[in-house]
Amino acid sequence: MGIIKRIGTILDQIDVTKILMQMSITFFQKKLQTCAQCLSIAKWQYVYYTLAVFNLLTVSSGLYLSHQIMHIYTQSIDVNHRWATRLATYSDLGQLVAALNAPGNDIFDSKDVGLESRRLASAQAIFQRDLNIVRQELQTQVDSTQAIQLLQDLDTVEIETAKMVAEAKLIFSYFRQNQPEMAGRRMATMDRNYNQVNEALAISQQNVLQIQQNLLDEQNVAANSFRRYEFMIAGAMLLLIGGVTLYGHQLAQKMKSDAQEKEQLIAELQQSEALLKEKTQQVQATLENLQKAQFQLVQTEKMSSLGELVAGVAHEINNPVNFIHGNLTHVRDYTDQLLAFIQLYQTYYPNAVPEIQDKADEADLEFLQEDLRKILDSMELGTNRIRQIVLSLRNFSRMDEADFKSVDIHEGIDSTLLILQHRLKAQSDYSTIAVIKDYGNLPHVECYAGQLNQVFMNILSNAIDALEENNTQRTVQAVKAEHSQITIRTSVIDAQWVEIAIADNGAGIPEQIQQRIFDPFFTTKPVGKGTGLGMSISYQIITEKHGGKIKCFSMFGQGTEFVIQIPIRQQICETV
C-alpha dihedral sign at 5, 7, 8, 14:
positive
- 37 domain residue, yes or no: yes
Last residue of a domain, one of 285, 302, 318: 318
Pair (334, 295) in one structural domain: no
pLDDT of residue 533: 64
109: how many CB neighbours lie within 10 A of its CB?
11
pLDDT of residue 399: 44
Pair (301, 386) in one structural domain: no
pLDDT of residue 536: 79
Residues of the chain under the 50 pLDDT cut: 1-7, 10-11, 14, 16-17, 20, 39-42, 399-402, 573-576
Closest CA to 74 of 287, 297, 230: 287
Looking up residue 474, the CATH number of its domain turns out to be 3.30.565.10
Pair (272, 345) in one structural domain: no
**DSSP classification of residue 555:** -
Pair (313, 234) in one structural domain: yes
Last residue of a domain, one of 342, 372, 397: 397
485-504 pLDDT, tens digit each: 999 999 999 889 999 999 99
139-169 pLDDT, tens digit each: 887 777 777 887 887 888 888 888 888 888 8
300: how many CB neighbours lie within 10 A of its CB?
18
164-207 pLDDT, tens digit each: 888 888 888 888 888 888 878 888 888 888 888 888 888 877 87
- 95 domain residue, yes or no: yes
pLDDT of residue 574: 41
Structural domain boundaries, residue 108: 2-318
Pair (314, 455) in one structural domain: no
Cβ-in-10-Å burial (0-12, 13-18, 19+) of 19 comes to exposed
- 77 domain residue, yes or no: yes
Q: How far apart are CA 162 and CA 90, in angstroms?
A: 17
Pair (476, 556) in one structural domain: yes
Alpha-carbon distance values, 161 to 107, 335, 566 (Å): 18, 40, 43
Pair (532, 508) in one structural domain: yes
Last residue of a domain, one of 298, 318, 338: 318
Pair (453, 512) in one structural domain: yes
- 572 domain residue, yes or no: no
Pair (72, 197) in one structural domain: yes
Structural contact between residues 328 and 380, judged by C-beta atoms closer than 8 angstroms = yes
pLDDT of residue 439: 93
Pair (205, 105) in one structural domain: yes
Pair (194, 274) in one structural domain: yes
pLDDT of residue 26: 59
* Total number of domains constituting the chain: 3
Closest CA to 551 of 466, 436, 444, 459: 459
Is the pTM for the entire model greater than 0.85? no
- 576 domain residue, yes or no: no
Pair (34, 178) in one structural domain: yes
